[in-house]
């Protein structure tokens, strides 16, 4: 099959648009900015990773960009909030999904309840990142401008650092799972986030409720 | 360039041991400040500023002889003036030179994430290497004496160097040299401790200061700057000298357990998902459409058919 | 200073009063700290404010500004009452045993005998010793001295001093100029002189012996009286008196106490007498002449000592030679008047060093006029101006204000800022024809014509031509300065002057040479002294300071041979010291005190020997000190009458029986071969040879003993004698600008002025570094007073005196407490002097551009003519 | 490279600590101490011009006094040999560098003419000539040779010299010498106040 044909095919009716162009831009912007923040953050987190700072332009550069880039990440999280809030609401289905989390982890997806646009795992991931980013924001501002704090308020600084690190570690945990799920466990997700489209079958299999919603009245397939 | 070099005992943000740790024996240098003979003349402030050549700042009179509220990035030592009422109602003026204490266990260095931004030389001087400083201000967090200060123009932290450029050439720090009354004294830590204890004894026995003593706080492993106080039980009266300074618990927590916990958690997180992949592999849709080959790079979803 | 900076470390007890050495002399103060550290010495600080000196003291007493004599008088009484006196010292080394003339009266009503209210002066005829011999045992029959109850009926008459102290006990500086004969009018009859054979009573029992008079004089200064006048609670005063006099507990002579003072004592309308009181206390305790003792003027400028030594004031020539008066019709008359003859008990000896006055004078005139000074023309005696009255600092401004002083040269002297009454000085300059200012920074004086308050219209009417010449700073000049320990130290040139700035000496030389050229070309009034002035400098337009130093030292104008040693000085050679000076015109010497400073061996001022074998901080080989490199003055008094040191651990000089000479760690300030048996007095500059507890004749204008008087502006009446509250001989000035306040006018807060350690006079307001330390002017106000007036820290306040006002920020402090003076609640405030209308902050508009000395009154001490900057009255309000 | 007994962190040279894989830095850490700024400067011994303690100061200037160098001050500190201050200085003495190198220094002669509201520059020669004329005029106008009693007084009361107390002895001597020869009686000095 030619590449030409591939593209034709991809734009054909057996594919559904999973992520719009804007959504994909925002997602990858988030991904990149998060990665930068994570790497530069990790450089400062432990001496054993300080060499990461060199990769990112050296310590002062990493220190300079980290807070600015984090603002980009914050923006993406907020954009997603505005765009996807409806799809991210935790519902009863999610509770049932969570009850069957073992089945999901062990790839017995057939016993899982049908899911909307995002499954409960994805929603939880978002909300973890959402709250983490708020904590990172507040503590990060403190850490960004330590000189604002007169000595009487210096006690705030280590508190901020602890919160910042804790939130960052939690978000890193979440991101490990996110990347693992998206890239390895469910490669279609990665493709979807790159190309924006998924097959109807895939959609029906993993996000049946979403599939039904988007196909209702537009398709008689299957 | 200076030919002077000093061995290094500790380096901030450094993986593994400091290159000079435990390989060199050196006399610990120490600054003794006898507050009972301080006359608040500020010669030390000027000598410091002159020697280090820093810029001037506009100050504002604030109902005190004190030059400014606290030390600044370009003002490393500051006499703190305190009108103190004694128990008998008489007034006294307590004056204390505030500056980096050059802790044996420096909180700034512990908190600093930048490799080599803060070093402790084998002679005990704690020094900031601005070339390596990333301006994160973590050192402020670690310092129980509120010493490191941020220069917004260069985004670097600054503090007293104990004139390491002079000390390494065999001179005494500029403030020490200038001090008119000899309230400042410089020498080895052992000698300064001895002098300080002798002076404290003299104050107790001959000058009626029953509570006179030496301030060399154990909480930070002892300091490279020690004080003789008229009343060692009340260091706070001397412009907020902490009674029992320690590196904040949170900083210890963060630089210790949290690092290990975080590091290992990340490691095990990655390890965990890898094992999971090996055990369960990627997901395959249950409705008969085989997507497995999609997981391989280079494959396209030609298998996906409506 | 009788002693020296380092010598303070040898003391056991310090009284610091009228000075604030920790702030104004920090590097000298180290030796006070050293004494505390190494000898457990105690320090008593008495000051109107709790200063940074007080912070290191063992006892601090807050005193009302201007009540120092009452405090010291109380100390004197305490020492006598409790027998804490150095008896042998007192009998042998002071005039305690001398009998005072009958008719002398103590000032129980505020006036000594001989007062003439019309002229406000004393006839001092009774202020003299009685002629006669040993009167021991005649105490019972002698007429006692009564308190004096009415003004003297004696005719008013003043006279030139006969036996002035020179650089004697009353100070080595300008205080030494006290009793200048020059300030008085022509004598109406021959001046009384000291008797050559004084009556004495070594038992000190005679009712008119100085000791009994002293006891009687200060019997009124009870602790209760001290409390009433000074505001120091009785118990605190007693604590201080007990502590200070404890050095002489049970008459033991081992311990030594010192007194340190500065302008807090001199700047009063009775300043000289405060210092006298301290000197008397030190004599009483036997502390003068000893290591760790003495009475030590700290001095505020690097060369205040040298400028005075050099005759930089109207009433003296270099070396404290008297400026001649019109009555000195020729050199012989002048020398007769100024050369004292010894006056002592017959069995004693007196070196009377001032008997060498003719040698010093003739040598000085030879230095001035060289070959033009001949025996025939009295060595050019009449080339020198004669002074008929007081020409001191405040008189200059007063007379410029009145229009008789037309021009002024001001070099390194900011007269407007220094005051007193800066506005009067500004108004005076408006009337001058010309002003030449030599400075390194723009100052208030050179810009008086645009001082705040002068409008553009007014400026057009100010017709003074002002030249402002750019001078050189200290690092750009070499030369020597004399510190307060009398050390002359040479400094070197580090860099050339900036821009077109010129060396000060070049400017003065070039002005003078131009004037001389004009007189040569055009002639003019009496050009002789100008044309005949010696000018033997290698480069006439640029006289090297080394050349001048050599001129000061003096050289031989003929071959000289010492008959005793047969040592010969060749004609043209530098003299080894003042012992070589001659009164026949064969020596030339610019300043006899400095003879020895640049000998054939070279520049002694640049010596840098750091050896101090005695460990007493004498440093014989560092630089050079006058007189004759002696470091502690009157050091003969450190030994008992047999020539053995009072304290063997602090040996300075001693009599060596085998060599029959005085020897020691220091150069003996004494006749080296005078055997102790001869009983020569250790105070060789006094004609009596002893220390003057009683200041006879013209030594002082306002009394042989110090008496407490209130400052000219005082919130209370004198508790000792309300009818004679102020110093009776002090005159107020009378121009329209001279106003004086009373508490009745609402001026009831006492104001005192001072320097801060962060600044130097009106100089460092041009220095960013020092401005950063103390950026703004402020007024120190007691918390209680601030609360009463609703003033908070940092508020702008306005201080108003009878003359003008001053605006600054409030420094509300607990370090000044309200005082109870004679039952009245009195507040004191303090203001540092350092700001003006030209400076970094002033030019940036960051302060009110007012000068502190606009507040201060024009009134001076009658002996030293120092203005009363301390303790005047003000009002305080929120600005 | 082995870890020698003296290993140094030389940040200034490396522009950052040496980085190596995993952060284990096995090369000797590098660091440069700040240069002692008075190395090889010319040292001139002087005396502080402020108070009368007379502290010895060392003035450090650039250059070695060679012909082609204009020395300028780079640092001032106390003279440790001086018996009184032993190297110490007060806040005024310690700031002497700022006194010498001060942008507010007067650099040329100026004159303010009668009625004027500003300074004008004036050449030294002209300034000194004018001053000499003023001095002569005032002296001639006010000189008194004999007083009312007929005593020779030879004095000039029409002008005054006021001098500071931070000038040298030699300068003071020159002043007193010249001014007294002019007949001045109003010769006064900071010493008085």
What residues of chain B, 92 to 121, have a C-beta less than 8 Å from chain C?
A: 92-95
- Closest by CA to A125, choosing from A76, A78, A174, A92, is A174
Structure tokens at C102: 């009958």
Residue B132 vs residues A52, A55, B147, B158, C411: alpha-carbon distances, Å? 15, 15, 18, 12, 53
> Does the structure show a pLDDT above 50 at B264?
yes
Can you give the residue range of the structural domain that contains C874? 722-878
pLDDT for the residue numbered C448: 97
Inspect the interface and report whether the beta carbons of A51 and D21 lie closer than 8 Å: yes
Provide the pLDDT confidence category of residue B20 given band limits of 50, 70 and 90: low
Candidates B48, B54, B65, partner chain C, best to mutate (most C CBs within 10 A) = B65
pLDDT digits (tens, 9 = 90+) for D101-142: 999 999 999 999 999 999 999 999 999 999 999 999 999 999
For residue D83, what is the domain's CATH number? 2.20.25.90
Inspect the interface and report whether the beta carbons of B39 and C757 lie closer than 8 Å: yes
Write phi, then psi, for C77 (nearest 5 degrees).
Answer: -60, -45
The helix (H) or strand (E) run that includes residue C235 is helix C234-245
Write phi, then psi, for C534 (nearest 5 degrees).
Answer: -65, 145
Inspect the interface and report whether the beta carbons of A48 and D22 lie closer than 8 Å: yes
What residues of chain A, 89 to 108, have a C-beta less than 8 Å from chain B?
A: 105-107
List the single residue in D with minimal CA-CA distance to B134.
D16
- Provide the sign of the torsion angle of the four alpha carbons C343, C348, C349, C353, taken in this order: negative
Can you give the residue range of the structural domain that contains A109? 19-215
C138 versus C111: the higher-pLDDT residue is: C111
At D121 the three-state DSSP class reads: strand
Q: Specify the number of domains making up chain D.
A: 3
Residue position matching structure tokens 């998060």: A34
> Does the structure show a pLDDT above 50 at D10?
no
- Closest by CA to A145, choosing from A75, A71, A67, A69, is A67
Distance CA C708, CA A67 (A): 74
Chains C and B touch (3+ CB pairs under 8 A): yes
The helix (H) or strand (E) run that includes residue C439 is strand C434-439
Distance CA D38, CA B52 (A): 12
Inspect the interface and report whether the beta carbons of A58 and D22 lie closer than 8 Å: no
Domain spans, chain B: 8-247, 248-282
Inspect the interface and report whether the beta carbons of B132 and D17 lie closer than 8 Å: yes
> Does the structure show a pLDDT above 90 at C139?
no
Identify which of D59, D104, D116 has the shortest CB distance to residue C475: D59
Mean pLDDT of the region B212-223? 96
Structure tokens at C113: 């005998």
Question: Count of B–C CB contacts within 8 Å?
Answer: 112
What single-letter DSSP state applies at residue C285?
A: T
Residues pairing with D47 in the sheet: D56
C774 touches chain D (CB under 8 A): no
Residues pairing with C797 in the sheet: C808, C878
Identify which of B61, B65, B95 has the shortest CB distance to residue C809: B61
Non-local (6+) Cβ contacts of C155 within 8 A are C116, C123
pLDDT for the residue numbered C151: 40
Mean pLDDT of the region D37-63? 94
Residues pairing with C810 in the sheet: C779
Contacts of C756 in chain B (CB under 8 A): 65
Give CA angle at D74 (D73, D80), nearest 5°: 95
Identify which of A47, A49, A58 has the shortest CB distance to residue D16: A58
Inspect the interface and report whether the beta carbons of C410 and D93 lie closer than 8 Å: no
Contact between B93 and C815 under an 8 Å Cβ cutoff? The reply is yes
pLDDT for the residue numbered C146: 60
The ipTM (two decimal places) reads 0.90
| Smallest Cα distance from C825 to chain B, Å | 19
Q: Which of D56, D71, D100 delimits the end of a domain? A: D100
- Closest by CA to C43, choosing from C297, C248, C290, C259, is C259
Identify which of A151, A161, A200 has the shortest CB distance to residue B146: A151
pLDDT for the residue numbered B18: 72
Q: Specify the number of domains making up chain C.
A: 1
Mean pLDDT of the region C401-410? 97
Q: Specify the number of domains making up chain A.
A: 1
Contact between C723 and C123 under an 8 Å Cβ cutoff? The reply is no
Instruction: Examine residue D46 and state whether it is found in any structural domain, yes or no.
Output: yes
Question: Count of A–D CB contacts within 8 Å?
Answer: 17
Contact between C40 and C74 under an 8 Å Cβ cutoff? The reply is no
Mean pLDDT of the region B127-143? 91
Residue position matching structure tokens 């009002």: C875
pLDDT for the residue numbered B254: 85
Q: Percentage of chain C surpassing pLDDT 70?
A: 94
Half-sphere exposure of residue C484: CA atoms within 13 angstroms, side-chain side:
33
C392 versus D26: the higher-pLDDT residue is: C392
Residues pairing with C636 in the sheet: none
State pTM to two decimals: 0.91
> Does the structure show a pLDDT above 80 at D12?
no
Structure tokens at C843: 């030019």
> Does the structure show a pLDDT above 50 at C339?
yes
Same domain, D139 and D65: no
The helix (H) or strand (E) run that includes residue C789 is helix C783-789
At A87 the three-state DSSP class reads: helix
Provide the pLDDT confidence category of residue C640 given band limits of 50, 70 and 90: very high
pLDDT digits (tens, 9 = 90+) for A75-108: 999 999 998 988 888 888 888 888 888 888 888 8
> Does the structure show a pLDDT above 70 at B303?
no
Provide the pLDDT confidence category of residue B298 given band limits of 50, 70 and 90: very low
pLDDT digits (tens, 9 = 90+) for C485-538: 999 999 999 999 999 999 999 999 999 999 999 999 999 999 999 999 999 999
Identify which of D15, D16, D23 has the shortest CB distance to residue A48: D23
pLDDT for the residue numbered C621: 95
pLDDT digits (tens, 9 = 90+) for C276-327: 999 999 999 999 999 999 999 999 999 999 999 999 999 999 999 999 999 9
Can you give the residue range of the structural domain that contains D16? 1-34
pLDDT for the residue numbered A13: 61
Q: Which fold has domain B8-247?
A: Alpha-Beta Plaits (3.30.70)
Instruction: Examine residue A11 and state whether it is found in any structural domain, yes or no.
Output: no
Neighbours of chain B (3+ CB pairs under 8 A): A, C, D
Distance CA C824, CA C750 (A): 13
Instruction: Examine residue C755 and state whether it is found in any structural domain, yes or no.
Output: yes
What single-letter DSSP state applies at residue C686?
A: S
Inspect the interface and report whether the beta carbons of D73 and C475 lie closer than 8 Å: yes
Instruction: Examine residue A6 and state whether it is found in any structural domain, yes or no.
Output: no
Least confident of A184-198, C346-360, C582-596: A184-198
Is C561 exposed, middle or buried (CB count within 10 Å of its CB: 0-12, 13-18, 19+)?
A: exposed
- Strands of C13-17's sheet in order across: C59-62, C42-47, C13-17, C257-261, C295-297
pLDDT for the residue numbered C180: 39
Identify which of B8, B45, B177 has the shortest CB distance to residue D29: B8
Distance CA D92, CA C770 (A): 7
Q: Percentage of chain B surpassing pLDDT 90?
A: 66
pLDDT for the residue numbered C159: 33
Distance CA B123, CA C299 (A): 43
B8 touches chain D (CB under 8 A): yes
pLDDT digits (tens, 9 = 90+) for C539-558: 999 999 999 999 999 999 99
Inspect the interface and report whether the beta carbons of B304 and A202 lie closer than 8 Å: yes
pLDDT for the residue numbered A146: 84
pLDDT digits (tens, 9 = 90+) for C701-743: 999 999 999 999 999 999 999 999 999 999 999 999 999 998 8
- Overall residue count recorded for chain B in this entry: 306
Mean pLDDT of the region A99-123? 83
Mean pLDDT of the region B128-148? 91
The helix (H) or strand (E) run that includes residue C296 is strand C295-297
> Does the structure show a pLDDT above 60 at C156?
no
Identify which of C757, C773, C794 has the shortest CB distance to residue B62: C794
Query: C778-782 and C805-813 as β-strands: parallel, antiparallel, unpaired?
Result: parallel
A217 touches chain D (CB under 8 A): no
pLDDT digits (tens, 9 = 90+) for D68-97: 999 999 999 999 999 999 999 999 999 999
Candidates B19, B72, B113, partner chain A, best to mutate (most A CBs within 10 A) = B113
| Smallest Cα distance from B203 to chain C, Å | 9
| Smallest Cα distance from B86 to chain C, Å | 12
For chain C, the average pLDDT equals: 93
B30 touches chain D (CB under 8 A): no
Structure tokens at B90: 């008489």
B22 touches chain D (CB under 8 A): no
Distance CA C546, CA C537 (A): 10
At C481 the three-state DSSP class reads: strand
Inspect the interface and report whether the beta carbons of D91 and B2 lie closer than 8 Å: no
Inspect the interface and report whether the beta carbons of B129 and D97 lie closer than 8 Å: no
Inspect the interface and report whether the beta carbons of A50 and B115 lie closer than 8 Å: yes
pLDDT for the residue numbered C143: 67
Instruction: Examine residue A92 and state whether it is found in any structural domain, yes or no.
Output: yes
Strands (E), D15-97: 42-47, 56-61, 73-78
Inspect the interface and report whether the beta carbons of B169 and D36 lie closer than 8 Å: yes
Half-sphere exposure of residue C789: CA atoms within 13 angstroms, side-chain side:
22
Non-local (6+) Cβ contacts of C545 within 8 A are C477, C478, C479, C480, C505, D168, D170, D171
B45 touches chain D (CB under 8 A): yes
Contact between B32 and B223 under an 8 Å Cβ cutoff? The reply is no
Distance CA C671, CA C682 (A): 9
Contacts of D22 in chain A (CB under 8 A): 48, 51
For residue C740, what is the domain's CATH number? 2.40.40.20
pLDDT for the residue numbered C605: 96
At C429 the three-state DSSP class reads: helix
> Does the structure show a pLDDT above 60 at B287?
no
Instruction: Examine residue D105 and state whether it is found in any structural domain, yes or no.
Output: no
| Smallest Cα distance from D49 to chain B, Å | 16
Provide the pLDDT confidence category of residue B4 given band limits of 50, 70 and 90: low
| Smallest Cα distance from D47 to chain A, Å | 41
Inspect the interface and report whether the beta carbons of B161 and D12 lie closer than 8 Å: no
For residue A191, what is the domain's CATH number? 1.20.950.20
pLDDT for the residue numbered C744: 87
B153 touches chain D (CB under 8 A): no
pLDDT for the residue numbered C137: 76
Residue position matching structure tokens 């004198």: C718
Q: Percentage of chain D surpassing pLDDT 70?
A: 83
């Amino acid at each position: 099959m030619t590449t030409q044909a591939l593209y034709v095919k991809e734009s054909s009716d057996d594919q559904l648009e999973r992520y719009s162009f804007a959504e994909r831009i925002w997602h990858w912007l988030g991904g990149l900015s998060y990665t930068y923040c994570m790497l530069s953050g990790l450089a400062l987190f432990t001496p054993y990773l300080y060499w990461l700072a060199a990769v990112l332009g050296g310590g002062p550069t990493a220190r300079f960009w980290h807070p600015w880039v984090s603002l980009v990440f914050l923006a993406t999280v907020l954009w997603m909030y505005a765009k996807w809030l409806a799809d991210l609401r935790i519902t009863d289905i999610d509770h049932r999904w969570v009850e069957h989390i073992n089945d999901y982890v062990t790839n017995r997806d057939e016993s899982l309840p049908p899911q909307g646009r995002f499954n409960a795992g994805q929603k939880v991931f978002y909300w973890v990142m959402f709250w983490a980013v708020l904590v990172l924001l507040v503590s990060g501002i403190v850490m960004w401008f330590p000189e604002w704090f007169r000595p009487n308020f210096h006690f705030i600084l280590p508190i901020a650092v602890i919160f910042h690190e804790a939130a960052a570690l939690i978000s890193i945990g979440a991101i490990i799972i996110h990347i693992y799920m998206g890239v390895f466990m469910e490669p279609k997700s990665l493709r979807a986030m790159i190309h924006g489209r998924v097959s109807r079958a895939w959609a029906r299999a993993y996000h049946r409720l979403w599939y039904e919603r988007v196909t209702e009245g537009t398709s008689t397939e299957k | 360039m200076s030919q002077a070099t000093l061995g290094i005992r500790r380096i901030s943000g450094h993986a593994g041991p400091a290159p000079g740790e435990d390989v060199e024996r050196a006399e610990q240098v120490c600054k003794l400040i006898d507050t009972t003979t301080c006359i608040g003349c500020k010669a030390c402030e000027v000598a410091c500023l002159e020697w280090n050549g820093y810029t001037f700042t506009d100050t504002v009179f604030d109902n005190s002889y004190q030059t400014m509220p606290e030390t600044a990035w370009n003002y490393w030592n500051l006499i703190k003036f305190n009108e103190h009422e004694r128990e008998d109602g008489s007034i006294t003026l307590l004056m204390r030179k505030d500056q980096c204490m050059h802790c044996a266990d420096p909180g700034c260095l512990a908190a600093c994430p930048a490799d080599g931004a803060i070093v402790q030389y084998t002679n005990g001087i704690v020094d900031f290497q601005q070339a390596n400083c990333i301006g994160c201000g973590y050192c402020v967090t670690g310092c129980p004496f509120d010493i490191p200060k941020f220069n917004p123009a260069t985004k670097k932290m600054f503090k007293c160097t104990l004139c390491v450029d002079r000390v390494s050439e065999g001179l005494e720090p500029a403030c020490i040299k200038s001090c008119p009354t000899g309230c400042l004294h410089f020498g080895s830590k052992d000698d300064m401790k001895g002098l300080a204890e002798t002076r404290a004894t003299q104050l107790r026995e001959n000058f009626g200061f029953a509570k006179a003593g030496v301030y060399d706080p154990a909480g930070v492993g002892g300091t490279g700057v020690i004080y003789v106080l008229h009343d060692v039980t009340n260091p706070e009266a001397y412009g907020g000298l902490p009674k029992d300074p320690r590196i904040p618990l949170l900083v210890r927590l963060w630089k210790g357990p949290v690092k290990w916990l975080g590091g290992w958690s990340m490691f095990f997180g990655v390890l965990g998902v890898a094992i999971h992949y090996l055990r369960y592999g990627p997901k395959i849709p249950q409705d008969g459409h085989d997507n497995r080959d999609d997981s391989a790079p280079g494959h396209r979803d030609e298998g996906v058919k409506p | 200073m009788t002693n020296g900076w380092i010598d303070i470390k040898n003391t056991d007890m310090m009284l610091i009063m009228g000075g604030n050495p920790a702030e104004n002399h920090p590097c000298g103060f180290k030796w006070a700290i050293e004494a505390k550290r190494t000898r457990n010495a105690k320090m008593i600080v008495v000051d109107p404010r709790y200063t940074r000196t007080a912070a290191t003291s063992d006892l601090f007493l807050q005193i009302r500004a201007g009540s120092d004599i009452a405090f010291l008088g109380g100390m004197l009484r305490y020492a006598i009452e409790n027998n804490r006196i150095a008896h042998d010292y007192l009998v042998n080394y002071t005039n305690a045993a001398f009998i005072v003339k009958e008719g002398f009266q103590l000032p129980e009503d505020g006036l000594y005998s001989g007062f003439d209210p019309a002229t406000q002066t004393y006839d001092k005829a009774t202020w003299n010793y009685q002629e006669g011999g040993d009167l021991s045992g005649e105490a019972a029959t002698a007429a006692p001295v009564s308190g004096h109850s009415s003004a003297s009926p004696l005719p008013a008459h003043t006279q030139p001093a006969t036996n002035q102290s020179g650089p004697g006990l009353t100070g080595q500086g300008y205080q030494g100029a006290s009793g200048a004969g020059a300030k008085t009018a022509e004598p109406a009859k021959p001046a009384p002189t000291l008797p050559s054979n004084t009556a004495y009573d070594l038992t000190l029992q005679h009712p008119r012996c100085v000791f009994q008079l002293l006891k009687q004089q200060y019997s009124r200064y009870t602790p209760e009286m001290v409390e009433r006048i000074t505001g120091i609670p009785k118990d605190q005063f007693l604590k201080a008196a007990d502590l200070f006099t404890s050095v002489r507990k049970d008459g033991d002579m081992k311990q030594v106490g010192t007194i340190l003072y500065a302008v807090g004592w001199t700047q009063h309308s009775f300043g000289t007498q405060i210092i006298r009181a301290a000197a008397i206390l030190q004599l009483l305790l036997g502390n003068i002449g000893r290591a760790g003792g003495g009475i030590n003027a700290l001095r505020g400028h690097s060369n205040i000592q040298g400028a005075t030594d050099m005759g930089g004031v109207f009433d003296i020539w270099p070396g404290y030679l008297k400026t001649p008066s019109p009555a000195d019709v020729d050199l012989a008359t002048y020398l007769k008047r100024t050369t004292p003859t010894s006056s002592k008990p017959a069995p004693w000896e007196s070196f009377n060093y001032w008997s060498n006055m003719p040698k010093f004078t003739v040598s000085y005139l030879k230095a001035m006029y060289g070959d033009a000074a001949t025996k025939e023309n009295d060595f050019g005696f009449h080339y020198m101006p004669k002074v008929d009255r007081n020409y001191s600092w405040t008189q200059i401004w007063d007379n410029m204000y009145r229009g008789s002083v037309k021009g002024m040269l001001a070099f390194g002297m900011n007269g407007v800022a220094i005051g007193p009454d800066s506005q009067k000085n500004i108004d005076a300059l408006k009337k001058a024809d010309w002003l030449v200012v030599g400075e390194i920074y723009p100052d208030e004086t050179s810009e008086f014509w645009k001082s705040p308050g002068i409008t553009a219209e007014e400026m057009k009417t100010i017709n003074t031509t002002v030249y402002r010449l750019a001078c050189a700073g200290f690092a750009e000049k070499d030369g020597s300065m004399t510190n307060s320990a009398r050390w002359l130290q040479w400094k070197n040139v580090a860099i050339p002057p900036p821009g077109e700035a010129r060396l000060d000496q070049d400017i003065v030389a070039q002005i003078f040479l131009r004037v001389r050229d004009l007189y040569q070309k055009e002639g003019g009034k009496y050009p002789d002294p100008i044309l005949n002035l010696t000018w033997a400098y290698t480069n006439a337009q640029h006289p090297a300071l080394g050349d001048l130093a050599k001129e000061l030292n003096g050289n031989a104008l003929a071959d000289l041979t010492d008959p005793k040693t047969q040592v010969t000085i060749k004609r043209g050679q530098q003299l080894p010291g003042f012992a070589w000076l001659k009164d026949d015109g064969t020596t030339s010497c610019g300043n006899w005190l400095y003879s020895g400073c640049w000998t054939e061996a070279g520049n002694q001022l640049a010596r840098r020997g750091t050896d101090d074998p005695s460990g007493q901080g004498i440093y014989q080989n560092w630089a050079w000190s006058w007189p004759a490199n002696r470091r502690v003055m009157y050091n003969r008094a450190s030994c008992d009458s047999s020539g053995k040191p009072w304290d063997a651990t602090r040996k300075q000089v001693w009599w060596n029986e085998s060599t029959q000479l005085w020897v020691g760690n220091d150069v003996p300030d004494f006749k080296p071969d005078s055997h102790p048996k001869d009983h020569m007095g250790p105070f060789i500059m006094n004609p009596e040879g002893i220390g003057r507890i009683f200041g006879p004749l013209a030594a002082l204008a306002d009394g042989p003993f110090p008496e407490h008087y209130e400052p000219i502006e005082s919130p209370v009446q004198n508790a000792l004698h309300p009818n004679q509250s102020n110093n009776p001989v002090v005159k107020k000035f009378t121009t329209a600008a001279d106003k004086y306040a009373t508490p009745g006018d609402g001026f009831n807060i006492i104001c005192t002025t001072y320097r801060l350690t962060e600044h130097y006079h009106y100089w460092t307001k041009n220095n960013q570094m020092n401005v950063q330390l103390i950026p703004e002017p402020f007024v120190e106000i007691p918390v209680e007073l601030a609360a009463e007036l609703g003033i908070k820290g940092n508020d702008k306040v306005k201080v108003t005196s009878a003359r003008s006002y001053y605006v600054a920020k409030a420094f509300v402090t607990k370090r000044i407490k309200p005082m109870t003076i004679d039952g009245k609640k009195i507040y004191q405030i303090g203001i540092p002097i350092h700001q003006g209308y030209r400076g970094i902050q002033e030019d940036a508009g960051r302060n009110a551009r007012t000068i502190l000395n606009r507040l201060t009154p024009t009134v001076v001490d009658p002996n030293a003519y120092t203005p009363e900057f301390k303790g005047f009255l003000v009002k305080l309000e929120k600005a | 490279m082995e870890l020698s007994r003296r290993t140094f962190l030389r940040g200034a040279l490396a522009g950052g600590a040496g980085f190596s894989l995993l952060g284990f830095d096995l090369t000797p850490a590098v660091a440069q101490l700040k240069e002692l700024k008075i190395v090889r400067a010319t040292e001139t011994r002087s005396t502080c011009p402020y108070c009368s303690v007379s502290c010895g100061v060392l003035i450090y200037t650039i250059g070695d006094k060679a012909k082609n160098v204009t020395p300028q001050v780079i640092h001032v500190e106390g003279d440790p040999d001086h018996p009184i201050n032993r190297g110490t200085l007060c806040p005024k003495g310690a700031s002497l560098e700022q006194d010498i190198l001060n942008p507010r220094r007067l650099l040329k002669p100026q004159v303010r003419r009668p009625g004027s509201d500003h300074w004008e520059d004036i050449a030294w020669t002209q300034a000194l000539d004018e001053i000499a004329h003023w001095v002569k005029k005032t002296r001639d106008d006010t000189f008194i040779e004999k007083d009312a009693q007929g005593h020779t007084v030879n004095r000039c009361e029409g002008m005054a010299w006021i001098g500071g107390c931070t000038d040298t002895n030699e300068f003071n001597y020159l002043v007193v010498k010249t001014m007294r020869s002019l007949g001045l009686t109003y010769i006064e000095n900071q010493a008085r106040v």
